[in-house]
Structure 1
Amino acid sequence: MKKLFLLLLLILVSFTFGFKVTFIVYVPKNTPENSNIYISGNFNNWSVNDENFKLIKKEKYFILETDLSGIIKFVITRGSTDTTEVIEKYRIARVSKDNIQIIAKVKRWKDLIGKIELIEDFYSPELNNRRNIIIYLPPGYEKNSKNYPVLYLHDGQNLFDKKTSFVGIEWEVDETLDRMISNNEIEPLIVVGIYNNADRLSEYSPWYDDEHKQGGKGDKYLEFIVKTLRPFIDENYRTISDKNYIGGSSMGGLISLYAISKYPDVFSGAIVMSPSLFFGNNKIFDFVEKNPPINSKIYLYVGGKESENKLFLQEVIDMKELLENLNVNVKYSFDPEGVHNETFWAKRFPEAIKWILEGTN
């Protein structure tokens, strides 16, 4: 009976006074200097600037020692609801003993991220079909009157959200740009993601492919971008009308290379990832040779494990050499372990966008 009483007393004391808890919080590099960092949770009525839960700044992290108990739910904040971390709901932990250490790494702040807008069922008179257009607006867009360059990317559903991505892997374009813009690695820009559809293979190639029995709508698709979509973007968003870029991967890489060659007066640069140069019976080689985009920049990437057929890699190398011989400003990037998927394209995107934008002010 005495042991039971002591146990109940210990539990009562624990819930009354709590256990010792240490919060260690790491914040992203773009966190404004001299920021105050707070813990907001179910233990302080979700106050966003509770001085009792203000962390102390150390060299590489922020720290707070306090007493808590039970199931705790919390988020990290810089002192207001507008400056909380970007998180799906909240963090959760169980505190049931002394000397608990809770480590939290903030990836992004709500006020330091770009905005995503979705335009559904955007009509293309050139193709007589509809598709979604997803738009990334850089951090600060709504708070200033600046104009921005525009990057048009194919396969729009694969860019920002793994839930809409074809294979459940995204390019992480918004996270990457938020970080790079906030760190002053690149100038802010608008991204226009163009969703694909069931006619993807045909729309992403101007030539019919004998093996796949598809292709041939690429010119109409680019007319849609140049004559319908781009004017809409320029009219409704603050763009720099003569600073447009285009990019994509696989078939999206093929149509991007074709676009920069056909419309050098529209696009200043192209991101060409793992291009399917074989599609359309390799006619892209002849077209580029006859229409070299000599005043544009091309970022060309390929991985060493994209296909069991080594011809895929060799064709990209051949294209690199052709572009160089034509005096096109091309940056070639190769990953010997690179596979043909979004993981490796996302990995190369920071280098690609930084290089494309450099020296184009």
Structure 2
Amino acid sequence: MERSFYGRGCPHRRWRCADNRSLPDSAASDGAESLDLFAGELAVDHGGDERNHEYNLTINAEYGFGGKGEAYAAFLAETLKPYIDSRYRTLPEPEHTIIGGSSFGAYVSLFAAIRYPHLFGLVGGISFVMWHDDGAILELIRQSVLSPALRVFLSIGELETDNPEFNRLANEHVALARRTLIAAGVPESRIRFDVVPGGTHHESRGANCSPKYTAGCSSRKSHYANKMDRRQACSQ
């Protein structure tokens, strides 16, 4: 099933949902008797060349990208999620809904969870970066009323790039984001921060990290993924 919400010429042109009517054996291991007791994941395709604009809240003047993050998050929250919740047998409450991504996808996922706390109760950020926004995401956290029920998973690779100074700053930025979230009211026990030894800035690391930020969530979760690269996503 494909559906366009934006019309011709829009970078979000189309997104696809695949119906999977088979219930895995593992989904019934806890006595589940219906399809609304297993997790569903929707990977949301980015707009190709528009990716860096869509995934960032502010405009980075030096590199000339960003500024469409608010509109992108609004699309997820106000158009896509309501459609999915109306079409499928979901549990729409925030405690049952995860949003996550990698790189700029991690950045926009954290932004969406802060902007729409009544929709997204858990956020996963793999290779989370904020080198480009001049502190905008931190200021947003400080100014927002965050739910103490929010759960956050952030990770950074030890070797995100071949630049040791960038890697050091990237690690410090994730640690700073964690401290800022705690200061804003998210309990320390609900934030996980991993430094991945030898981890690089590559899509393949997402497959290894995703189970960590879904661990502890029941099988009743909806998962919206904003991934690093079009090639890995079924939609983004």
Deviations 1:188-213 (A, max 9, x none): 21111111122111111111112221
* In 2: Cα distance, 1:121 partner to 1:137 partner: 14
- Find the counterpart in structure 1 of residue 215 from structure 2: 354
- Find the counterpart in structure 2 of residue 323 from structure 1: 181
Post-superposition shift, 1:179?
9.1
- Find the counterpart in structure 2 of residue 234 from structure 1: 85
| Equivalent position amino acid for 1:277 in 2 | M
> For 1:281, what is the secondary structure of its paired residue?
coil
- Find the counterpart in structure 2 of residue 131 from structure 1: 13
Post-superposition shift, 1:138?
6.3
> For 2:195, what is the secondary structure of its paired residue?
strand
- Asked if the contact 1:305/1:337 (under 8 Å) is kept, the reply is yes
Choose the corresponding residue for 1:249, options 102, 127, 130.
102
Post-superposition shift, 1:135?
3.8
Percent pairwise identity: 23
* In 1: Cα distance, 2:184 partner to 2:219 partner: 21
1 or 2, which has the higher helix percentage?
2
| Equivalent position amino acid for 1:196 in 2 | H
The verdict on how the C-alpha distance between 1:318 and 1:352 changes in structure 2, with shifts beyond 3 A counting, is: same
Deviates more, 1:229-238 or 1:255-264: 229-238
Ranges in structure 2 where 5+ consecutive residues have no aligned partner: 31-36, 222-236
Post-superposition shift, 1:288?
1.0
* Total equivalences in the alignment: 203
> For 1:192, what is the secondary structure of its paired residue?
strand
> For 1:337, what is the secondary structure of its paired residue?
coil
Deviates more, 1:206-215 or 1:245-254: 206-215
TM-score, reference length from structure 1: 0.51
Choose the corresponding residue for 2:120, options 242, 267, 270.
267
TM-score, reference length from structure 2: 0.76
Choose the corresponding residue for 2:44, options 171, 194, 199.
194
- Asked if the contact 2:141/2:184 (under 8 Å) is kept, the reply is no
- Find the counterpart in structure 2 of residue 344 from structure 1: 205
Post-superposition shift, 1:299?
0.9
Deviations 1:285-316 (A, max 9, x none): 11112213432111111111113212111101
The verdict on how the C-alpha distance between 1:238 and 1:121 changes in structure 2, with shifts beyond 3 A counting, is: closer
Please show how residues 158-177 of structure 1 align to structure 2 within 5 Å: none
- Pair 1:122 & 2:4 matched: yes
- Find the counterpart in structure 2 of residue 87 from structure 1: none
| Equivalent position amino acid for 1:345 in 2 | G
By relative contact order (CA 8 Å, sep 6+), the higher-ranking structure is 2
> For 2:42, what is the secondary structure of its paired residue?
strand
Post-superposition shift, 1:239?
1.2
The verdict on how the C-alpha distance between 1:317 and 1:182 changes in structure 2, with shifts beyond 3 A counting, is: farther
Post-superposition shift, 1:358?
4.7
* In 1: Cα distance, 2:71 partner to 2:218 partner: 30
- Find the counterpart in structure 2 of residue 303 from structure 1: 157
Deviations 1:96-138 (A, max 9, x none): xxxxxxxxxxxxxxxxxxxxxxx4462237x944334344666
* In 2: Cα distance, 1:295 partner to 1:302 partner: 23
Please show how residues 1-361 of structure 1 align to structure 2 within 5 Å: 119-120=1-2, 122-124=4-6, 128-135=10-17, 140-141=22-23, 181=27, 188-197=38-47, 198-242=49-93, 243-291=96-144, 292-307=146-161, 308=163, 309=166, 310-328=168-186, 329-355=190-216, 357-358=217-218
* In 2: Cα distance, 1:217 partner to 1:302 partner: 24
| Equivalent position amino acid for 1:303 in 2 | G
Which protein has the larger Cα radius of gyration, Structure 1 or Structure 2?
1
* In 2: Cα distance, 1:332 partner to 1:192 partner: 24
RMSD: 2.7
* In 1: Cα distance, 2:27 partner to 2:179 partner: 32
Runs of at least 4 residues off by over 4 Å: 136-139, 178-184, 358-361
* In 1: Cα distance, 2:74 partner to 2:170 partner: 28
Ranges in structure 1 where 5+ consecutive residues have no aligned partner: 1-118, 142-177
